[in-house]
């Protein structure tokens, strides 16, 4: 009779342990299945390359401040994935503003970007012949400054090399009728000292 009384007390314990073991087995099976069905996200350079890079080039316009002409940056938000693409987009937007009368630019209308490439020497900018037309020496200086500052907006220390329809601007081939002579490499600092110093 005592053996018969024990079995009802141990039966619920055995049932509870059995259910607990079944529950643990189900959770283990679900975890194993989730690893098969749900892939683990692994960060890799291939995934990062597909993400848009965070480049914020600036377009430099002109503004009259205290009776002086100043270069004023306007940040361009771009989805470009390389400095070359970001600077090309910025420069094309700057040149596009010149197609209508724009008091914030001295760049002649119809000026076009023919090529922009970056190498170990710096940024190389090839512009159409319209860039050289019209205006006096101040106009030539400020239009060059607008392009120079725009293409160095990601890295202000970068040297810049200008050409017009493939012809490098230099002592033998100055910019426009006013004969603005550019010495290379042109940097912001050098340009400021030569042309924008107050």
Q: Determine contact, residues 123/161, Cβ cutoff 8 Å.
A: yes
Pairing of strands 160-164, 58-65: unpaired
Longest dimension (CA), the chain: 122
Q: Which residues lie below 8 Å from residue 181, measured CB to CB, with a gap of 6+?
A: 170, 171, 174, 175
Q: What is the mean pLDDT of residues 54-66?
A: 87
User: What pLDDT is attached to residue 136?
Assistant: 84
Q: Lowest-confidence range among 51-60, 95-104, 169-178? A: 95-104
Per-residue pLDDT reduced to its tens digit, 28-37: 554 554 444 4
Task: Give me the residue label for tokens 């914020």.
Answer: 56
Per-residue pLDDT reduced to its tens digit, 105-137: 889 989 999 999 999 999 999 999 999 988 888
Alpha helix stretches (DSSP H) within 120-169: 137-151
Q: What is the mean pLDDT of residues 13-23?
A: 63
User: What pLDDT is attached to residue 46?
Assistant: 41
Q: In whole angstroms, give the CA distance from residue 77 to residue 56.
A: 6
Full strand arrangement of the beta sheet holding 113-119: 113-119, 122-127, 160-164, 167-168
Between 92 and 9, name the one with better pLDDT: 92
Provide the token pair at 156. Answer: 């202000």
- Residue 64 CA neighbour count, 13 Å, CB half: 3
Predicted TM-score of the model (pTM): 0.70
In percent, the amount of the chain with pLDDT more than 90 equals 39
> Buried b / exposed e across 183-194, counting CB within 10 Å, b at 16+?
eeebbbebbeee
Between 166 and 98, name the one with better pLDDT: 166
Provide the token pair at 132. Answer: 């050289």
Between 14 and 60, name the one with better pLDDT: 60
Q: What is the DSSP letter of 28?
A: H
Q: Is the pLDDT of residue 103 over 50?
A: yes
Q: What is the mean pLDDT of residues 34-49?
A: 42
Provide the token pair at 82. Answer: 């390389």
Between 11 and 100, name the one with better pLDDT: 11
3-class secondary structure, 10:
helix
């Amino acid at each position: 009779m005592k053996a018969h009384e024990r079995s009802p007390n141990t039966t619920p314990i055995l049932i509870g342990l059995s259910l607990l073991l079944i529950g643990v087995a189900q959770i283990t099976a679900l975890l194993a299945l989730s690893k098969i069905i749900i892939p683990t996200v692994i960060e890799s350079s291939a995934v990062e390359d597909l993400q848009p890079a965070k480049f914020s080039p600036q377009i430099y316009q002109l503004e009259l401040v205290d009776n002086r002409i100043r270069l004023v940056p306007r940040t361009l938000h771009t989805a470009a994935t390389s400095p070359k693409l970001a600077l090309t987009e910025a420069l094309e937007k700057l040149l596009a503003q010149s197609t209508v009368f724009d008091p914030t630019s001295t760049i002649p209308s119809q000026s076009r970007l023919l090529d922009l490439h970056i190498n170990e020497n710096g940024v190389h900018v090839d512009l159409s012949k319209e860039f050289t037309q019209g205006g006096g020496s101040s106009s030539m200086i400020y239009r060059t400054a607008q392009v120079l500052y725009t293409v160095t907006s990601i890295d202000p220390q970068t040297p810049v090399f200008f050409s017009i329809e493939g012809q490098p601007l230099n002592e033998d081939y100055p910019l426009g009728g006013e004969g603005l002579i550019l010495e290379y490499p042109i940097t912001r600092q050098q340009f400021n000292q030569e042309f924008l110093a107050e």
